[in-house]
Structure 1
Amino acid sequence: MEGLNALAGFGVGLLVGLTGVGGGALMTPILVLLFGHAPAVAIGTDLWFAALTKSAGSVLHHGRGTVDWEVLRRLWTGSLPAALVTLLWLHVSGFDKLHHDGLLVALGGVLLLTALAMLFKARIHAIGQGLRTHTPVAFKRAQPALTVAAGALLGFLVTLTSIGAGALGAVMLVYLYPRRLTPARLVGTDILHAVPLTILAGSGHLLLGNVNLPLLGSLLLGSIPGVLLGAHFSTRAPDGLLRPVIAGVLVLVAIKMLLG
């Protein structure tokens, strides 16, 4: 099992480094559907998996200058407080322990939303470009508040399901910053945004007892080299091929979770 965990970690880490997508969206379903872990444990463990994996990838992106710090600050202003509020709700309600079926439905719903976002990313980008071209003053004026709101939504979804920081975050950013973020800066900014968010959410889940540390260790054995390799080749990744394939897999997994 340790070998299989490390192999799964390598594959997911490679996709994270290449595209900024695939962390929670693939690892949590793998842990639930293939390895048989409870949804809450899969979510808590994956948050730490994402935090440490993306920390490694973010080092390379930061060194290359592919991070937009102003956009990051806006995202964190929304996502980190939202994560804290969500953790408090989980603690008070016990939702993560008492409602396994509810967590599966939440996972399936966010996976489906993630897949749709990936499939329609180009269209959403085009809409953002149109607004930026035809109403530039109003669009730029709304960017800060909308980015904070996007961060808040991501903070809630990531803390509840461990999914959303990669694919959904990237789609939100290409809509809000259609000209400012190049593909490489989009991936770098998206990955770095997830690091403190997943550390915060993961710390909360650790206190709630939802993290399997031996499992986490075996996943990281594969993911760290995977994400470093992916980040190294991120500027040459066949994004037009990878995203539809990942999205198709996510749709199938989402249907499986929604149907129980």
Structure 2
Amino acid sequence: MKTYLTYRAQLEGLQDVLETIKTTEKIAASSIHFLRAKVATLASYTQLLQETLAKISSFHSPAAISLLKPRQGKRKLLVVLTGDGGLVGGLWHSIVSTAIAARSSYTGIVVVGKKGVRYFAEEHITPTSTFSSQENAQAAAKELSRYLFAQFQDGNAAAIDILYPQFVTLTTHIPTTVPFLPFPFLRPQIQDPHPPPVGIPIIAPSSRTILTVLVKKFINVYLYRIVLETQLSEFSARTAAMEHAGAKTEESINMLVTEFRKERRQHITQRQIESFIAHRTI
């Protein structure tokens, strides 16, 4: 039979693990509510921007804007969004596996997040460029967009796609690839109950200048939302993983306590039997 101190040490160790798991779960869960609200707000904002773009873009062809104009060339980049933290189940593995499966369609891979960089290194794949996943999603999105805009406008990439874990539910995240540059801008059909009077509006300094600025703004916000959604998927996956780990740890604690009580009862019973036999012998 194990000694009481052995059981106690094992129990305290499991309780420490459980406390760490619950703390990690609470931190991740608290971030989920903030990120979901932020993503929803950005969705409304991008809708407003898109409606404004639709009105101004009626004066110009999308090909007149550099970020919308298709480029000649075969060089195509895939941007893979991961994170720096672990304890997210198979989230990063699914993203990297999807990227590797689609690798033949791209001439280069840009990886965001230390976990993604490590997984690609394990597969002996060298990315074209890497970025660390920052806690400040807005700063991370700006740094990434500057790099991608430069690659596209300098002719180093004819097209750029983004692969990220799309948030569906707290336990469901789908690896999703979306085109990024040239940006696939579509004019929505706006039903205006009060159509403007006939005539051409006066736009200063020019409709093309404003359209160029708004397109860049819209694309930046679009990328920011994707980065936030990646973080949302990360925290929700971590919450689910910690909930599962917590349940397993509690199960181990209960099994350990049950085992200790069972062995103690057996030990006490054995001592009683030995004592009874000894008394009968006397």
TM-score when scaled to structure 1?
0.24
By percentage of residues, which structure has more strand? Answer: 2
The structure with more radius of gyration:
2
Query: Of Structure 1 and Structure 2, which has the larger fraction of its residues in helix?
Result: 1
